[in-house]
Structure 1
Amino acid sequence: MEKKLVLYLGPEYPKHIKEKLENNVEIVFLPILNIIPINKSSMDFLNNVDSCDWIVFTSPRGPKILADDAKNNKVFDLIIEKINNKKLAAVGSETAKSIEINLGKKPDLLPKNYTGKELGVELVKINSKCVLLARSRQGLKDINEVLKEKGINFIEVNLYEESINYENLLNINEFLTKNNIQYVLLSSPLIAKAFCNYIKQNDITIISIGPSTYNILKEMCSKFNVLIPQKYTLSSAIDLINNFPR
């Protein structure tokens, strides 16, 4: 049986979902998003962490980048000490796993629906006093809007930057044709916007990991067949592809 070919445009190869492929799916990796850690972001984190009772991570790469920067700047033990005295929240299950692996603590809060907006609503319900958002500089502001509307203080600490890899992006049209790609997996609104602006083909199926990416796709390139998994995770997206008719 011929494998389903999936083009994944995220910034790193999703090694942790290999066991889900079951010889039915082959992932072709072509990153169009560069992740640039911000030097001494751990120091910025330390300077602000005492002001808040909750720490929020909105992506799986955030906890790792914080931990790596803290080790480079010799403040990792202090970061762990501070985190152990705070409440932690994760936007989704994969972010929760990253917190536990890289920072040694299970999150205290995980929203039912894995979105920043839903996480903001949950933080409002439990009367958070101040929320430290440890995230990308280009991260979605949906959680900010919820907290601001309800009068909850928040502080943003930027751990990394995201930028489009235009060299890879410009090669995608030819790549799609030559490799007979059947599905494209998109994991962020930033990637979706770049994809819609540059892609000419219209006979592929797009898998959007989350609703914010889905909304961008429906708005900017409605010509595509766009699917979204029930749970907004990479693993759920792969399950959707596995079960989708050929």
Structure 2
Amino acid sequence: MSRLPAVKVLITRPKQQAVRLAEQLAQAGASPIMVPLLTFRTRTDKENQMLSQQGNRFDWLFFSSNNGVEHFGVLVSKFSELENWKHCHIAAVGQKTAEAVERVLGRRADLIPDAYTADRLAEEFSAAYDPANRILLIQGNLSRPALSNGLRENGYAFEKMVVYDTVEEKCNQELLNKVLQKDQPEVLTFTSPSSIEAFHSFISQAEMQKEQLNKLCLVIGPTTEEAAKRHGFHNILLPAHYTTEAMIDALLHYYEQRTGE
């Protein structure tokens, strides 16, 4: 089995998700360093309390992330019942989101696109289903408009339910700067554009920020890759599939090529 060299890998994703990635990296031979830059908070406003009880108004639920599934589950369990939503078909942007649907909602996704992007999900749904379907998009406050734009362009009406907010973990700003100065990780990992935004806003010195741009920047998917490019990273690694497991595979392949194995 291939193993990573003992490189230091910075993990910036939220703590509840960072632990599993750290375990996987350690098993592969790397030295993970966790500095969560973001956290997620369920949005429990009156609008969501009411909407969580109105499953009869919809035919399809669209989930564009694991987080959307988790926080939708929190809202429904707190203010309603899963029984109210059991008739709805479910579309999930990728396999990991579909697994979250099964774990949290006890359901199997009815539609998973062959490429794990919101654009592809909108495209495949539009090719197969009637515009008369009543759709609820389950999202976070920073969700990209690709899915809603794709559905709208193909004549679908829908409602949005923003079930969580992405919040910067400002309490970890000092920790991040210490880690970058003292531990000097060789690999930086990002699993969302907002994690890259937080990373750059947290770094206190312009010179240190500039130094990070030459490090290996491992991203989970194309939207995060776009954010990395906008911020000036020079060495970006994008996996073939948009999962954390694929990120580790891409990192293994990267170092195998460097060592000539």
TM-score of the aligned structures, taking structure 2 as reference length: 0.83
Q: How far is the alpha carbon of 1:142 from its aligned partner?
A: 0.8
Q: 1:208 aligns with which of 213, 219, 234?
A: 219
Gaps of 5+ in 2: 204-208
RMSD value over aligned CA atoms? 2.2
Checking the alignment, whether the CA contact within 8 Å between 2:52 and 2:75 is kept in structure 1 is no
**Partner Cα distance (1:19, 1:192) in 2:** 22
User: Which residue number in structure 1 is paired with residue 144 of structure 2?
Assistant: 140
What is the alpha-carbon distance in structure 2 between the residues aligned to residue 5 and residue 216 of structure 1? 22
Q: Return structure 1 stretches of 4+ with deviation > 6 angstroms.
A: none
**Post-superposition offset of 1:159:** 0.9
Equivalent in the alignment of 1:105: 107
Please point out which of 29, 44, 48 is paired with 2:51. Answer: 44
In the alignment, does 2:119 pair up with 1:122? no
Unaligned runs of 5+ in 1: none
The alpha carbon displacement at 1:157 in A equals 0.6
- Match of 1:176, SS state, is helix
> Which of residues 204, 227, 231 is equivalent to 2:237?
227
What displacement does 1:109 show? Answer: 0.7
1:178 — aligned with what?
Answer: 182
Q: Distance in 2 between matches of 1:107 and 1:204?
A: 38
Answering whether residue 29 of structure 2 is matched by residue 24 of structure 1, we say yes
Query: 1:101 offset after TM fit, Å?
Result: 0.5
Preserved CA contact (<8 Å) 2:42 2:163: yes
> Which structure has the highest helix share of the two?
2
Query: How many Å separate the matches in 1 of 2:31 and 2:83?
Result: 42
Q: Match of 1:244, as an amino acid?
A: Y
Instruction: Give the number of the structure whose alpha-carbon radius of gyration is greater.
Output: 2
Aligned-residue offset at 1:53: 1.8
Give the aligned length. Answer: 240
How much does 1:171 deviate? 4.2
Q: Deviations over 1:144-194 (max 9, x none)?
A: 111111111111111110122234245424312311311111111112223
Partner of 1:95: 97
Q: CA deviation at 1:195?
A: 2.7
Query: What corresponds to 1:188 in structure 2?
Result: 192
- Structure-2 residue corresponding to 1:3: 6
| 2:108 counterpart SS class | coil
Which amino acid in the other structure matches residue 50 of structure 1? Answer: N
AA matched with 1:210: G
CA distance in 2 between counterparts of 1:20 and 1:206 reads 15
1:60 alignment partner AA: N
Compared with structure 1, are the counterparts of its residues 193 and 155 closer, same or farther at alpha carbon in structure 2 (3 Å cutoff)?
same
SS at match of 1:114: coil
Give the TM-score of the pair, scaled to structure 1.
0.88
1:234 Cα deviation from its structure 2 partner: 1.4
**Which letter does structure 2 place at the counterpart of 1:242?**
L
Rounded to whole Å, the distance in 2 between the matches of 1:200 and 1:169 is 17
Offset at residue 14 of structure 1 (A) = 3.7
How many Å separate the matches in 1 of 2:187 and 2:222?
Answer: 18
* Matching residue's letter, 1:46: Q
C-alpha distance in structure 1 between counterparts of 2:140 and 2:59, whole Å: 20
In structure 2, what is the Cα distance between the partners aligned to 1:120 and 1:160? 22
Distance change >3 Å, CA 214–CA 102, structure 1 → 2: same
Identity of counterpart residues, as a percentage?
A: 24
Name the CA distance, whole Å, in 2 between partners of 1:82 and 1:120.
25
